[in-house]
Amino acid sequence: MYLFIYNLNLKNKVFTVTRLAPQYRERSTAVKSRAAFGSHSSDILNTLQKKQEAAMASNTVAMPAPVCLIENSSTGQLHVNQQALEILSQIDQPVVVVAIVGLYRTGKSYLMNKLAGKRSGFSLGATIQSHTKGIWMWCVPHPCKPGHTLVLLDTEGLGDVEKGDQKNDNWIFTLAVLLSSTLVYNSMGTITDNSVQNLHYVTELTEHLEVKAGDGNLDISSEFARFFPSFVWTVRDFSLDLIMDGKSITADEYLNNSLKLKKGLSKSTQTYNLPRECIRNYFPSRKCFVFRRPTSEDKMRRIEELSDSDLEPVFVEQTKNFCAHIFNNTETKTMKGGFTVTGRLLGRLVETYLDTIASGKVPSLDNAVLALSQIENSAAVQSALTHYKEQMKERVSFPSHTQKELSDVHGQCEAAAVHIFLERCFKDENQRYQLELMKCLQEEYESICRKNEKESEKSCKALIASLFRNVEDRLSSGFYMEIGGYKRYKSDQEHFIRQYKDTPGKGIQADAVLKEFLNGKETMGNMILAADESLSEQQKRIEEDQARRDAMERERRAIQENQKVLQQLLDDQERSYKQNMEQLLRKMKEDQKTASEEYDRVLQAKLREQKYLLESGFDENAKKLENEIRILNQKKEETQSQSNLSRVVETVGNVASLFLPGIAGRALGVVTSL
């Protein structure tokens, strides 16, 4: 560690690092310095965040047309398209993902084109054959959320008789669920029992997804509800009036009525209820839109060529309402745990899921999050470290005038680097990656400090060589080896010292290098003093005593200079730990809030479902749900617990003290002050 380098420089002196550290730990000046930095650091972070937001606002990919994201081969194998992944890798913005599924030839692509603000793009087709194969992607700037990218996914039609093997329909549906923020299910005519049964893919999700149930035997439906997308059912060519029991109803009420459960234990009743129960339990947020037929049958074949004025006004209005709902209500895509998904992460999710499917296994939500977190967190460390190195290289001039000058720049660059890391990382269990970053930043700072010390030493020696040249010439010529020579030598030496001290830009080794140089001239000074016959023995003893006092003063100044550097390094380590903890705790509280909101969203849905069950006479079902609600409340309370924060603080403090010895014994006090 860098602290011990200075110990080697002072190994023959009274002070050592181990003695210096306790002596200076409680200095009020260090506390004031840290407090002043805290205010300045906040300004630095605010500026950095504004720059990041500005960069993010322009960092999207506006695609002129869709590309295939997941290819479905003739043998039924799913493959990722590298061109699509390359596009996603360029998007660092959060993404809002809308996927549409449904039977083939039901007009899914038309709705997705409208969301993209285009008449054409996704293939529409005008025959009974399915045009879309696999999953196609279109990335456009989000029209209502600045700094977000809208990702539209148009999926292959389900139930295509030409496929022969229908098994990958389940995978297409499952991937649409896994990748989207909102899942649109498109059907034709009316919502009948048959159309609900066609959504049997929902009932089979448990066979195609793996998710760890929460502690306390939390039901799998609650785990699904935490991260499943919102559900929108669109009914095309709807020709009925929305009237029930003589009263007008909304499309949402129409959907909810279609999802009502039947009483009874017969096999037919269970078959009837199963898809409805899955939709109700897996998708807490449900919405329905009905669309009249847009135009005549002849015109339907060239609908992408028609403008809104060529279509039925009521259809145009219904389409506008649908788009407005999607734009304003679809949330940013998150992974399990509430972690925000960027375009880059979305691409990696696709790869992870398809690799798992290709291996014959079932995608695991927890494993996917863990695998991505390891990749992203490693990249976050490198990104933060690179930013630190670039900023230090740009802002530091060697040698620095004082260690504090270098320290202040380091503190600002380090705070920015930690901010960059925390903005990108997620699920950093035991803060493994943040600790790695802290260690890397400390090592890089130590390297910079060593360079600063060497540059200062080099600069000082060069200055001494230049200023002392005349004196050296006189020494060589024997100018001082005469009567009165010692007085002239002392005068020239004092003049040299004044010039040296008055010259700026020497850096932190100014006193140490001067001391070392003058100590090397002591023998020559003693020879000149001994040869000067103009001085009496008593005067020579006085001059010797003065020379010793001067040497002691130089020694004291050099030690003091090194003490200040050492103390500054100790302060830097404490500051580093403190600002890491401040930013980490802030992020953890934000994550706690997100997790709490995630559980709260599921809780509200379960409470609504419980109310429906009680009102509909399903008392036994409602009783079972009561236990689920109790467990969800417990989980929500756990996410808000302060004990997790305390555990993290203790872990980081214990590990960080191994490579930040300056915080040993002080970490607890620092965190208490937070």
In the chain, what are the domains? 59-211+224-239+283-363 (3.40.50.300), 461-555 (no CATH)
Q: Is the peptide bond before 294 cis (omega within 30 degrees of 0)?
A: no
> Worst-scoring range by mean pLDDT, 52-66, 90-104, 527-541, 619-633?
52-66
- 423-450 residue pLDDT tens: 999 989 889 999 999 999 999 999 999 9
CA distance 335 to 339: 5
Torsion on CA atoms 65, 376, 172, 144, rounded to nearest 10: -50
Which residues make Cβ contacts (< 8 Å) with residue 580, sequence separation at least 6? Answer: 418, 434, 438, 652, 656
Tens of pLDDT, residues 131-155: 457 899 999 999 999 999 999 999 9
pLDDT digit string, tens, across residues 375-414? 999 999 999 999 999 999 999 999 998 999 999 999 999 9
Find, among 173, 115, 174, 158, the residue nearest to 139 by Cα: 115
**Alpha carbon distance 282, 522 (integer Å):** 87
Rounded CA gap, 298 and 597, in Å?
49
pLDDT value of position 119? 82
Of residues 649 and 580, the one with the higher pLDDT is: 580
- Residues 573 and 128: their CA atoms lie apart, in Å, by 70
